[in-house]
Amino acid sequence: MTCWRLQLCLVLAVPWLVAGAGAHAQQTADGIGGRAWTQPVQPRPATRPGRVGASELSDDGLAEDEDRSGPTLRRSLIDGDRTMPAEPAHPVDGIETQHDADRGETTAAIRRDHRPSADTDAFERPRAGFDPDAFSIEPEPAQDRRPERQFRRDPFDPIGIRMGSFIIFPEAELAAAAYSNVFRSGTDPLRDAALEIRPSVRAVSMWSRHAVELRAEGNTSFHGGYITEDDRGALLEARARLDLTRRTSIEALVAWELAQELRGSIDVPLSASERGDVETRRAAASLNHRFNRLALQLRGSLAEFDYAPVATLGSGEISNAGRDYTQQEVTVRASWVLKPTLSAFAETSVNVRDHTAAGTDGINHDSRGTRHRVGLSFGDADAPLHGQVSIGYGQQIYHDPLLPSVEGILIDANLVWRISGLTSVLLTARTDVDETNLAGAGGGLTNSLGAEFRHAFRRDIIATAGMRFARADYQGIDFTERELVTMLGLEYVLSREVTLFGRYGHIAFDATDEARNYNADELRVGVRLRR
């Protein structure tokens, strides 16, 4: 009889012991101060309202939904017996409490890498051949090409041609152009037509670190009536980036460009029988380093501008030696990441301009200048809003006291807003001091502002419309230039390699000297080929 009773007690006690051991193990895993962050909260079975179910009670006599971390604990009844309140919770080594988790989250936020994705692409993304724009090399942020590339993003990305560790992107535009005022004259507008050929090729490295980009472009036109207006332009450019560490890099570029002056420019004599060549040689380098949220950039540039002599209508020659000059510039820029898609920056620069000869007024136009800017930088190449805007103040002081200094407010922008997958807007603005060869003039404070709208009616039909306004105020003389350009365009994408396009532009130019005022229309229809 006694043995039978002993067996019955063991049978009844085993489930109770197992349940108690499981609750104790769960309490240990959850932690005395509350559940560990890695433990998911399991739903409890529903019980009758007004009564605490036995399954909802833990070893300390509290329901699982009661607060164990407060200074006082409510007593709970178990089968009519009043239990003692649980001991206050104390930290236990090896168990993460709520305070520890909060502190760990704060530490993680401090240590988080706040670099924009464009800065980490060189290390985290696939090789450059799969996304050539991800490895763009931009020593000068104001000249960043990525906003415009994002604005003009085609429905088909070029695939290029693989050659060793590089991918080659060839492209060519062939167009027929018509001009209503080929000489941009306000008194005797003359019409002409031309065939235009613009080939280009770009090579991008595919390395996981560092990057090299090589680019060559040509601009050739053949006018049917006035061969003096033919274009013979070219551009050769090499860029490189050296990734010293994940946070430190060196970027550099070297470029050579040949172009012809535009008709109607203030420095182009009305008696010139042809457009003169302008040769530009540039070199720039920047050292970039990031201290978590803070980024610093030190950059320098050297540019040389050479203006070729031009023939006059009377078989003479106009020397442009006084317009040749060299510019050296050093800039310091500091950026602070407010969040991954927004940064604030400030930069200051100093430049020196040296002319090889005196101007037409017999005065040397050598000068030195300063530029100070503050602004915001938005997003990265994949963000809906990408680019930068800034405002500041600049001045150019000439060595000769006979020339007045040029100073004013600087407004700069290079910003693209992708409203949707079909629509985007490009905003551009630039303020600087341009050199001039006018007698008695120190220089011109030029301001340009542009807006361009792009919309895809279908995947293969894309329309563009834009407007650009520019104004130049010359100090020392009473002379102002204003130019308004209106643009319309349409593209029909036949395939990844072939696109048909048409572009129309109207130019309205007026100046203090009314003899220079003119209106001109330009129409181009052509095809773009690429790989």
Tokens of 111: 């240590």
**Is residue 217 included in any domain, yes or no?**
yes
CB-based contact 263:231 (threshold 8 Å): no
**Is residue 162 included in any domain, yes or no?**
yes
**Is a pLDDT exceeding 70 seen at residue 137?**
yes
**Is residue 490 included in any domain, yes or no?**
yes
**Is residue 306 included in any domain, yes or no?**
yes
Collect contacts of 52-61 with beta carbons under 8 A, ≥24 apart: 52/76, 52/77, 54/78, 58/23, 58/26, 58/27, 59/20, 59/23, 59/24, 59/27, 60/86, 61/86
Q: The pTM is what?
A: 0.74
CB-based contact 184:518 (threshold 8 Å): yes
Average pLDDT rounded to a whole number, residues 60-87: 41
Which residues span the domain enclosing 267? 117-530
Average pLDDT rounded to a whole number, residues 391-420: 93
**Is residue 423 included in any domain, yes or no?**
yes
Name, in order, each residue with C-beta under 8 angstroms of 424's C-beta and a sequence gap of 6 or more: 150, 151, 153, 416, 417, 418, 453, 454
**Is residue 324 included in any domain, yes or no?**
yes
Split at pLDDT 50, 70, 90, the class of 114 is low
**Is a pLDDT exceeding 50 seen at residue 24?**
no
Split at pLDDT 50, 70, 90, the class of 158 is confident
* Res 227: pLDDT: 93
* Res 66: pLDDT: 42
**Local structure of 164: helix, strand or coil:** coil
Point out the least confidently predicted range of 286-300, 310-324, 447-461, 506-520: 310-324
**Is a pLDDT exceeding 70 seen at residue 232?**
yes
∠ CA 112-113-114, nearest 5°, is 105
* Res 263: pLDDT: 84
**Is residue 360 included in any domain, yes or no?**
yes
What's the sign of the alpha-carbon dihedral 345, 466, 177, 160?
Answer: positive
Strands annotated E in 124-190: 161-163, 166-179
> Which residue stretches of 459-517 are H helix?
none
Neighbours of 230 (CB within 10 A): 15
CB-based contact 514:483 (threshold 8 Å): no
- Number of domain units in the chain: 1
- CA dist., res. 116 & res. 340, Å (int): 5
**Is a pLDDT exceeding 50 seen at residue 216?**
yes
List the beta bridge partners of residue 171. 200, 530
Split at pLDDT 50, 70, 90, the class of 134 is low
* Res 135: pLDDT: 61
**Is residue 44 included in any domain, yes or no?**
no
Q: What is the CATH number of the domain that holds 333?
A: 2.40.160
* Res 81: pLDDT: 41
